[in-house]
Copies of this chain bind each other. A is one copy, B any other.
Amino acid sequence: MPATVSMTFHLRLWLETDEGFVLGPGQAELLYRIREMGSLRQAATSMNMSYRRAWGRLKRTEDKLGRELVRKLGGNKSGYQLTEFGQELLEGFLTLSREIEPIIQATAAKVFPRDIHIHASPAPGSGEKQA
- Which residues of A are interface residues toward B (Cβ below 8 A)? 2-3, 5-18, 22, 65-67, 85, 88-89, 92, 95-96, 99-100, 103-104, 107-108, 111-113, 115-116, 118, 121
Contact = CB atoms under 8 A, between A and B. Distances in A.
Contact of A107 (B6, B66, B99, B116): B99
A14 B89 CA distance: 25
For the complex formed by this chain, how many copies does it contain in all? 2
Contacts of A18: 6
A17 B7 contact: yes
A85 to B, nearest CB: 7
B14 A10 contact: yes
B66 A3 contact: yes
